[in-house]
Amino acid sequence: MRIRITNVLLMPGVTNEAHIPFIPDAEVLVDGSRIAYAGPKAGAPAFEADEVIDGYGMLAMPGLCNMHTHTPMTLLRSIGSDLTLDRWLNEAIFPVEKHLTDEAVRAGSDLGIMEMLRFGTTSFNDMYMHMDMEAEAVRDSGMRALLGHGVVDFDESCADLAPNIALIEKWNHAADDRIRISLAPHSEGATTEKVLLKIREAAETYHVPIHIHVSETRLDYDGSLNRRGLTPPQYLEKLGLTAHPVLAAHCVWMTDEDIELFARRGVTVLHNPMSNLKLASGIAPIAKMLKAGCRITLGTDGVASNNNLNLWEEIKLMPMLQKGNTLDPTVVSPAQTIAAATSAGAKAMGYEDLGQLKPGYLADLILLDLSGAHMCPCNDLESNLVYSAQGSDVALTMVNGKVLYRNGVYTTLVPRLVLERARKQAGSLLERAAQAAK
């Protein structure tokens, strides 16, 4: 399929620039799964399109990368609200998750993907269970994702590792390379040294990244210090995991040495400001980490600790929290924020040709409607984009050159059925958990 998006305002992407670049009266040409051209309309090459999309009044920009979530947890929306992470996990979430089935995970995955597409997310990074079901949901919906089977190991049995390896062998680079697989040890506190060393070995064998929760709460940080005399980042370094690409979720409780270590090792920080606030985990020192040269990306975390998959809320929160925390309004720029939501995530997922609208790059893009009252007047477009835009402004979401969402219509999902199945599966899941608790 060859698609011409014309008369559009273009934001080709942000990497290290101080400001977000915009090109008025532009055109984006999509040939199959890739961008053929993105630039001024006047400079566009001759191109025969199967479909022409008029982008007047819209901003074309790279799709968002939700870099830390547990998609099927959509079924647990609002479960255990207003508890601390420890109680939330042990009293509200784990007792229900024990009763998950393949059908429930598939229903929750479809629901999460439907929500993410609506808000302009074109790829996501996930760790959970029953991952074959989630991979099938990604395959069928046209989404892009990095998926890992969450490895928990309290007894040194390493029993969770086999399904993670099986997932790599079955799904890595599947669905036209829209699906990639990670190794996903849950956290320092929920694994043993034995399983982490096996994971390091597997990372060497399969060349896949390691996705892990790091220093999410004060309890995580203190626990690691008490158990081993090391902070979680120091422990990962000691075991040799940081010699591989590591995607570290949260990083709220970090010493200056931890930050320096992660910057030096090229560890990607997955920042989840809304989840950290809801669970009262704290505020990650993102401004410090950016200054130290860490790669910062943004995630929603699971719905149960957020309560939605609308990454635009994180886009606004990331700079706001750092301003409030440091009393310095210049401490995180709009360009750094948009890079965290797009190009930095794409790179961390292992794609060299994703996250910007450039010739040869994969065609993952969104159109943002700029005509809302909350976007008017446009005195400063980059400020409007970060501080005024809403997820509901997303008018079109394209992944791998295919339009998956446009003005309320999905091309691969039937919303009525997705919602019906999600309600039914959530109901019976909670029912099973309640019966077992009796």
Mask 294-323, x = binds Zn ion (CB under 5 A)? -------x----------------------
Considering the complex, state which of residue 39 and residue 273 has its C-beta at the smaller distance from Zn ion: 273
Considering the complex, state which of residue 66 and residue 333 has its C-beta at the smaller distance from Zn ion: 66
- DSSP-assigned states of every residue in 139-162: HHHT-EEEEEEEE--SSS--TTHH
Closest CA relative to residue 270, chosen from 259, 284, 256, 258: 284
The secondary element (H helix, E strand) that includes residue 326 is helix 311-326
Question: Residue number with the shortest CB distance to Zn ion?
Answer: 301
The minimum distance between CB 289 and Zn ion, in angstroms, equals: 18
Considering the complex, state which of residue 11 and residue 241 has its C-beta at the smaller distance from Zn ion: 241
Collapsed DSSP state (helix, strand, coil) of residue 384: helix
The minimum distance between CB 109 and Zn ion, in angstroms, equals: 16
The minimum distance between CB 125 and Zn ion, in angstroms, equals: 10
Considering the complex, state which of residue 122 and residue 187 has its C-beta at the smaller distance from Zn ion: 187
* Through-space distance between the first and last CA atoms of the chain, rounded to whole angstroms: 56
The minimum distance between CB 5 and Zn ion, in angstroms, equals: 35
The minimum distance between CB 14 and Zn ion, in angstroms, equals: 26
Considering the complex, state which of residue 281 and residue 397 has its C-beta at the smaller distance from Zn ion: 281
Using CB under 5 A as the binding rule, the residues of this chain from 225 to 264 that contact Zn ion are none
Stretch that binds Zn ion, among 18-26, 112-120, 293-301, 382-390 (CB under 5 A): 293-301
Q: How many residues does the structure list for the chain?
A: 438
Q: Which two tokens stand for residue 338?
A: 């948009």
The minimum distance between CB 110 and Zn ion, in angstroms, equals: 20
Number of residues that bind Zn ion (CB under 5 A): 1
Maximum C-alpha span of the chain: 70
Considering the complex, state which of residue 125 and residue 425 has its C-beta at the smaller distance from Zn ion: 125
Considering the complex, state which of residue 55 and residue 112 has its C-beta at the smaller distance from Zn ion: 112
Closest CA relative to residue 89, chosen from 286, 239, 304, 292: 304
Considering the complex, state which of residue 214 and residue 362 has its C-beta at the smaller distance from Zn ion: 214
Mask 395-414, x = binds Zn ion (CB under 5 A)? --------------------
- DSSP-assigned states of every residue in 169-186: HHHTTHHHHTEEE-BEE-
Mask 61-100, x = binds Zn ion (CB under 5 A)? ----------------------------------------
Query: 322-347: buried (b, 16+ CB within 10 Å) or exposed (e) per residue?
Result: beeeeeeeebbbbbbbbbbbbbbbbb
The minimum distance between CB 318 and Zn ion, in angstroms, equals: 17
Closest CA relative to residue 8, chosen from 368, 428, 420, 382: 368
Considering the complex, state which of residue 271 and residue 347 has its C-beta at the smaller distance from Zn ion: 271
Cis amide leading into 377 (omega within 30): yes
Closest CA relative to residue 15, chosen from 406, 344, 286: 344
Does the CA dihedral 228-229-230-231 come out positive or negative? positive
Using CB under 5 A as the binding rule, the residues of this chain from 168 to 227 that contact Zn ion are none
Phi then psi for residue 288, to 5 deg, are -60, -45
The minimum distance between CB 389 and Zn ion, in angstroms, equals: 25
Collapsed DSSP state (helix, strand, coil) of residue 218: helix
The minimum distance between CB 31 and Zn ion, in angstroms, equals: 37
Using CB under 5 A as the binding rule, the residues of this chain from 347 to 376 that contact Zn ion are none
Residues found near Zn ion in the complex (CB under 5 A): 301
